Structure 1
Amino acid sequence: QTPSNPQKPSQEVAPEDIVRITTSLVQTDVVVTDKNDQIVPDLKLEDFELLDNGKKQDIRFMEFVGTETPRRSEGERSALPSYVEPAGTSGISTKELKRVIAFVIDDLNVGIPDLPYVRKMLLDYVNNKMRDGDLVAIIRVVGGKGLLQQFTTDRQLLRRAIASITPVMHPFGSSEEPDPARMANPVATAAVDSPTATESSLEAPEIFSSNDDVIRYNRSLALISTSNYVIDSLKQIPGRKDLVLITGGIPIFEITGPFSNTYQILTQFANNAFRAGVVVNTFDPRGLRATPGVKGFQATPAKSALGGNDPTDATFGKGDPGANSALGVGLGAGQDHLALSSVSKYTGGHAVYNTNDFEQGLDKILSRSNGYYSLAFRPSEGLDNKEHKLEIKVRRGSTRVYSHTLYLARADNRTMPRTKEEAVAAAARSPLARNDIDVTPNVAVKLDPGKNANVDIQVLIDAKKLNFKETGDHYQDSLDIVGIVFDQMGRNRGGFSETINLNLSREDYQKALAEGLTYSASTEVQPDYYQVRVIVREAGSGHLGSFSKYLEIPDLSKGKLAMSSLFFFATDAKGAKPVPLLAQRRLNRSQDIRYVAMVYNPKLKDGKPQLRSQLIISQGSKVLLRGPDEPVETNGSSPLTKMGQLGLSNVAPGRYVLTLVITDTLADKKTSTLARSLDFTVVN
C-alpha cells in the first residue's frame, strides 16, 4: 500500500497502523467517491468533518493511501500461462501489500444451484483481476480445509480452493425445496375419524425443517462466527481490508423472538470489524429472479396476520407464512436484502444484490479498495467504554462517503512477542512474509513409488542484512532456523528447528556477503497437500525472515500422471562435472543451465509413452522464450527422465523463471498437463 499526502499538525503522530484505538487516538478509514463512483484522491484535512456522537471532533491526522497499481494499456494481457509460477510466490511483505481480500462463502445459506456462479465469479477474479500485491483468502463456513483457507498470493492455491467449492450436506443447511407435509397439527387438526377430516387437515408443514427459525438462527450464527474469526485474523495485517460475505441471506437479522438480539449482534460484529480495519461487503449470488407480481385480492383471502384461522396453519403466532404474502415470494424476501445492506452500511462496505452480472458487482466492491483516507482523532468524550456513533462528512459537492458508523470506545491492548519462541510462532502464523532478513527458498520434491516423498528445503540467506559482530579476525552471529510442515487440515506434520552459530573468517565473511549463506534440511511426507513455512531469526537483533511454499505430493499408486520438482545444474564448456544448483541458483554467462525432472505414470500405447514437452523462460509477467512443443525421448526406464540444457551467453543479467511443461497425449485432458517452475539468476 502506498501512502501519500500525509497531513498532520505539529507534535502529533499517526497511531500504529495495526492498533485502531490507542489511549489517545482513534483511527478510522474512509473511502470517498465522486458521482461516477471513482475514488477522489485529492482531499485535504480541512475537507473532512468528523462527528462522534453528534459532536464535531478535531481531526489530528489524515493521509491518503493509494493501492491501485499502474494499469496496463488497453487490450494488453499478462503473457504468462496460468500454469507458470511467477518469481516471488513464496510470500508477500508489508511493503509489497496492496489489497487484502477475504471471500467468505456461506455454505449453509447459498443454494446448490448458485454455487457454479460463485465459482465462475471467483475464478474470473483470480485469472483476470487479481493484482500483484493482492493477499487473498477463500474461506467456507462449513466445507473448507485449513490449507486452502489461508491468505495467499498463490493463484494456483486459490484455484484449487475455488474448485473445492462444492455442495456439502449439513444438518443446518438451507433448502429451496418446499417443506414436506408430514406432521399432524395436534391442536388445529380434526380427528382422523371425524366426518369433517380432509386430506389437507390431516397434515401440516414440518416445524423442524431447514426453514425453521431455530435452524435459520443457527445457520446465521455459523456465518457470523466464521466472519468474526476471519476478522480477528486480519487484525495483524496493517491497512484497510475487505471481507466479502457471499451469502443467500443473513436470517439472524430477520428473526425476532426471545432468543434473538439483532441489534447487539450487529453492533458487536461492526465493532470487531472497526477494530481490525475491516470493511464488510455483502454479495447475494441468487441474482435477479422473476416474481409473479403483486397478488390480487381474490388470491389472498382475508385473515389475521397472526394466522390461526386456518386449521392447517402450523405457523400460528409466527407471522405470515410467506408464500401467501400479498407481495409474493420474490418481493416478500426483501428482508434478506435489508439484512445484507445493514451489515455493509455499518462497516462502510457495499451490498450487491438483485443483479445477474456478478463479475460487475464484484468489480464495484473491489473498486472501493483502490484508495482510502486514514483519519485519526481524539474523542472529546474520551474512551468511556461505550458505543459511539461515527459520522464523517466531506465539504465537497457530488461526493459519497463510505465509513464505519459506530465503534466501542475502548483502547486496544497490543501485545508484542517477548521471547524468541513467541516471535517465531507469530511469524509462522502471519500471512505476511517477514523480510528484515532476505530469505530465498527452494523446496524440491523427490518421488519414490511405494515410499514417502522426500522434501528437500534449501534456504539462501542474504548475509548483507545480518549484524555480524567482529571479534578479532572473525565475524560472529547466531541464527535460529525453524521449519514447519502443515497438512491440508492445518495440522503440524513435521519440521525442524536448529540454532546456527556462525564464526566466519575474513575470507568466508566476504564470500558470504557476495554469495549469501546456505542452509538445507529435509523431511519425508505421505501423499497429500502441504504447506512448508520457514522462519529465520537473528538472535542479537530479533530480525526475521520467512517464506511459505505450497506442495502437492501425488499418490503414485493411483496411476495418474505425476512429476517431480525441477532440478538445476551448472555446466561449462570445459566439460567439467555439472554442479547442482540448490539454494544458490546463480550462473554466469559463460555457463549453461541444465534442467532435469522425473515423470511418473505416463499412459502407454504399444508399450511406449507419448509425452511432449515445452520450455518457457519468463521474467516478471513477460514470456521471453517459448520453446517448441516437442516429443520427449525415452529409453524405456521408469520413471522417465526429461533433461534439457540452455546456453546463457546471450542472456542479459537478471532473474528469470524456467518452466517445464509436460503433456501426456494419451491421458485424459483434465489431467494430461503438468508444469514445474524454478527461478535462477544470471550474472556477468
Structure 2
Amino acid sequence: MKDFEIYDNGRKESLRSFSKVSSNPAAPQTAVTSALPVLYSNRPDANGTAQSATASAPGSSTILLLDPTSLSFADLSHAREQIRKFLDGVPPSEPVGLYVRTGSSFNILNEETTNHAALVSALDKWIPSAQDLARAQEAEVRNRQQFDTVNSPSDMQYVNGNNGGMASLTPPSATPWSMDIPGGGTSSSVDPKMMKEGSDPARETMAALIAIAAHMNSIPGHKDLVWVASDNALANWTDQAAGNDKGPNTIGRFAIPTQEALNDAHVSLYPLDASQLETAATDASLQNNSVQLNPAIQGLDGHADLEAQEATTTDGRAAAQMRQDLHAVQPAIQQLAQATGGRSFPRADNIIGDLSSVVQEGHASYLLSFSPDIQPDNQYHRLTVTVPSRRGIVLRYRAGYLYKKEPFTLRDRLTQALWQPQDESEIGLSAHWDHASQGAAISLSIAGSDIGLVQEGDLWTDKLDIFLVQRDDTGTRAQAKEQTLALNLKPATYQKILQDGIPFAEYFEHKQNFGTARIIVVDENSGRMGSVTLPVILERASQ
C-alpha cells in the first residue's frame, strides 16, 4: 500500500484502503451449489465481492460481448470459432460470460460461469437475427464500397480512396428539384448508399454499454468486458462521409456518461477489432475496378463528366481498400477503454491470445480507495496513480470521476438512487430470488441497526418506504411499485431484528425487456436510504 500514490486533479490524497481483487478460483458448479440462491448485497465484503448463500463469488470475471451488427458474416464466423477455441483452453476455474449486442441493448447467452461447456453450447446454438446480419452487411457494403456507381458527381470525392472533405464542386443549379447540401451533392441526386457512408454505429453502442454496466453493477466483483466487433463500429469512417453525414465525429460527447457507468459498475472495457484483412477489393458481383458515376446522371449538366473524370481512378477500389485496411480503433473508443482501466486491441490476428491476455490482466487487479478532502463540486476530477519506488510498471486505472453534489430533496435522491449504476448503502440490504407458484419472488433482508427506530412507550416504531423498481435494458425506462412497512416492535422483536435484520418478501411479475430489478428502501425517521440491484435475466435463467 505504501508503494502506491494517488492524485486527484494533481492533489496527493491519502489512501484509505488497498486490497488485491480476489483471484481465488470459483468453486465448480454442482447440482447442489447451482440450486442455492445467490445473495446480492449493497455491503460488499473486504475483497469487493458480495456473498452468495454459501461461498464468496469470484473477484474477477471476463465477459465477451459479440457485436453481430458490425461483423460481416465471414468475420463473425471467424470470431465465433476463435472464441470457441478460447473457451476450450481457458483454465477450468475461470469465470466467463457471453453477451450479444442487439442495437442499443443486449442479450445474455450465458451469464458468467465456470461451466465452459455450457458457454460453448450457448454459442453454438445462438443464431444472429436477420436484422443484425443485414445491418452488418449494409455497413460492409458502404464502408468497403462494394457498389458500382454513385448518383452525384460530388460523391466521387468520397470513393476510390479519395479524401473528400471539400464542399460540392457542382455550381448552384437552376433545376427546380435541386437543393444544395453542404459537403455533398444535391438532395435529388445524393446516392442513399453515400448518405449512409460514415454513419457511426459506435454511438448507438454507447447506449448498449451503459445498459450492460447497469446490469453488471449487480454482479459481484471486477468485470473485464471484451467488445468483439469490427472496424465498422470501432473505426471512424467520417473521412469518407458524404451529404448530410459529413461533419465532425460526435462520439466523444457520449464517452463520459459511458465511462462513468462502466467505472461505477467496476467494469474495464476492452474493444477488440475482429475484422480480417480483405484479400481482394473486387469480387464477381462488381463490374469495375473503380466506383463510377451512374451513366444516367452523366450529362445532366456540363460539369458532371469533367468532375467524374477528375475523381475517378483506374484502380480506385485497390486505393480505397488500402485506406480501409489502415483504419484503426478510433481515438474516442481507445480513450474510453483506457479511462476504465482497459485497452483496445487493433485488428486481431490472434483473438485467442488477446482474450487470454485479458484474463491474465484480471488476475493483477487491485482495489484502491480514498476520500476527497474537498467538498463535491459537480466537476470531473482526473486521477493519477503512480508507484514511484518501482520502474517499468504499466498501470491501467479509471481516469477520473464526476464528483457530484448530493441532491437535497427526497425526490431528487430517489431519482438518483433509481438511475445511478451503484447502489445506495446507508441502509444495509441483501436480497435473493425465491421461486413462487407463479413466477418468482424477491426475499429482502434490511439491516435493523441502520434504521432510526424510535421508542414510544413499550414499542419501537418506524416506517419504511420500499420501492420495487424494474429498469429496462437500455437504462431509459422504469416501472416502480411502492409499499410502506410500518414497524411497531416489542422489545424482544426489536433485539431480534438488530441481530437478524428485517425480512421482507414481494412477488415479482417480470416485464418484458426489463433487465434489472432494484429495491430502494427509505427510512422515514432518519432519512437514510439503501438500494440493492438484482439481474432479472439471472433469475429467469435459473428457473
Same fold (TM over 0.5): yes
Paired position in structure 2 for 1:500: 485
**Residue in 2 aligned with 1:474?**
459
Q: How does 1:149-298 map to 2 (within 5 A)?
A: 163=126, 166-167=129-130, 168=132, 169-170=134-135, 173-175=138-140, 179-181=146-148, 208=191, 212=194, 214-223=196-205, 244-249=226-231, 250-252=234-236, 255=239, 259-261=246-248, 265=250, 280-287=269-276, 289=277, 291=279
1:429 aligns with 2:429: no
2:105 equivalent to 1:144: yes
Counterpart mapping for 1:382-401 below 5 A:
396-400=390-394
TM-score (norm 2): 0.59
Q: Structure 1 187/444 Cα, relative in aligned 2: closer, same or farther at 3 Å?
A: closer
| 1:110-121 aligned within 5 A | 110-116=71-77, 118=79
In structure 2, which of residues 19, 22, 36 is the aligned counterpart of residue 69 of structure 1?
A: 22
Distance 2:392 2:136 in 1: 49
Query: 1:431 and 1:126 mapped to 2: Cα distance?
Result: 33
Q: In structure 2, do the counterparts of structure 1 residues 101 and 94 end up closer, same or farther at CA, with 3 Å as the change threshold?
A: farther
Task: Assess if the C-alpha contact under 8 Å between 1:438 and 1:465 holds in 2.
Answer: no
TM-score, normalised via structure 1 length = 0.49
Question: Equivalents in 1 of 2:217, 2:68: separation in Å?
Answer: 25
> Is contact 1:151–1:431 with CA below 8 Å preserved after alignment?
no
Aligned partners of 1:58, 1:422: CA distance in 2, in Å? 31
Distance in 1 of aligned mates of 2:505 and 2:480: 12
Q: Deviations over 1:56-75 (max 9, x none)?
A: x6755568955542444xxx
- With over 3 angstroms needed to count, the CA separation of the structure-2 counterparts of 1:396 and 1:333, relative to structure 1, is farther
Matches within 5 A, 1:510-525: 510-513=495-498, 516-522=501-507
Alignment of 1:445 with 2:430, yes or no, is: no
Shift of 1:361: 0.9
Structure scoring higher RCO (CA < 8 A, sep ≥ 6) equals 2
Conserved in 2, the CA contact under 8 Å of 1:467 and 1:477? Answer: yes
Q: Does 1:550 align with 2:536?
A: yes
CA 1:496–1:237 in structure 2 vs 1: closer, same or farther (change >3 Å)?
Answer: closer
Counterpart of 2:345 in structure 1 is 352
Question: 2:40, 2:218 within 8 Å by CA — same for their partners in 1?
Answer: no
Q: Distance in 2 between matches of 1:225 and 1:513?
A: 42
Structure-2 change in CA distance of 1:254 and 1:363 (3 Å): farther
Map 1:572-583; keep pairs closer than 5 Å: none
Q: Evaluate the alpha carbon distance shift between residue 319 and residue 80 of structure 1 in structure 2; reply closer, same or farther with a 3 A threshold.
A: farther
* Alpha-carbon distance in 2 for matches of 1:459, 1:534: 9
Cα distance, 1:470–1:319 mapped onto 2, change above 3 Å: farther
Counterpart in the other structure of 1:644: none
Amino acid corresponding to residue 358 of structure 1 in structure 2: I
Contact 1:252 1:260 in 2 (8 A): no
CA shift for structure 1 position 286: 2.4
Q: Does 1:324 align with 2:318?
A: yes
What is the CA–CA distance in structure 2 between the aligned matches of 1:496 and 1:342, rounded to whole Å?
38
Q: Which amino acid aligns with 1:550?
A: V
Q: Deviations for 1:308-367, whole angstroms, at most 9, x for unmatched residues?
A: xxx899696499976323xx94x6544223647982586564332454542331232343
AA matched with 1:80? T
Matched, 1:343 2:334: yes
- Alpha-carbon shift at residue 283 of structure 1 (Å): 0.4
8 Å CA contact retained: 1:137, 1:149: yes
Alpha-carbon separation, structure 2, partners of 1:215 and 1:361: 30
| Matched ranges for 1:561-640 at <5 A | none
Contact 1:439–1:547 (Cα < 8 Å) also in 2: no
**What corresponds to 1:537 in structure 2?**
522
Gaps of 5+ in 2: 50-58, 157-188, 282-288, 290-304
- Equivalent residue letter for 2:360: S
Counterparts of 2:238 and 2:258 in 1: how far apart (Å)? 21
Kindly provide the CA deviation profile for residues 18-54 of structure 1, in whole angstroms up to 9, marking residues without a partner as x.
xxxxxxx32xxxxxxxxxxxxxxxxxxxxxxxxxxxx
Aligned residue in 1 for 2:30: 80
Native 8 Å contact 1:105 1:247 kept in 2: yes
Q: Kindly indicate whether residue 355 of structure 2 is the aligned counterpart of residue 362 of structure 1.
A: yes
Q: Distance in 1 between matches of 2:195 and 2:227?
A: 21
CA distance in 1, matches of 2:503, 2:365: 40
1:386-439: CA deviation from partner (whole Å, max 9, x where unpaired): 99999989675544455789x9xxx94503243444444444435545553233
Cα drift, residue 111 of structure 1: 1.5
The answer to whether the 8 Å contact 1:114/1:285 transfers is yes
- CA-to-aligned-CA distance 1:96-117 (integer Å, 9 cap, x gap): 3455877665444321333355
Q: What SS does the aligned partner of 2:105 have? A: coil
| Higher strand fraction (1 or 2) | 1
Distance in structure 2 (CA, Å) of the matches to 1:374 and 1:153 = 25
Hey, what does 2:176 align to over in structure 1? none
The DSSP-based 3-state class of the residue aligned with 2:354 is: helix
CA contact (8 A) 2:72 2:137 kept: no
Which deviations, in whole Å up to 9, do the C-alpha atoms of 1:94-145 show, x marking residues without a partner? 55345587766544432133335555677867996798999x8947361635
Q: 1:545 to 1:371 in 2, by over 3 A?
A: same
Question: Given the superposition, is the C-alpha separation of residues 273 and 486 from structure 1 closer, same or farther in structure 2, using an over 3 Å criterion?
Answer: closer
**SS of 2:236 mapped into structure 1:** helix
Change (3 A) 1:389 1:227: same
Shift, 1:86, TM fit: 5.0
Q: Distance in 1 between matches of 2:360 and 2:258?
A: 20
- 236 and 274 in structure 1: CA distance in 2 versus 1, 3 angstrom threshold: farther
Q: Measure the CA separation in 2 of the matches of 1:539 and 1:155.
A: 43
Higher percent of residues as helix: 2
Helix, strand or coil at the partner of 2:428: coil
Structure 1: gaps of 5 or more residues: 9-13, 16-24, 27-56, 190-205, 294-300, 302-310, 448-452, 555-673, 677-684
CA distance in 2, matches of 1:267, 1:143: 17
CA RMSD of aligned residues (A): 6.0
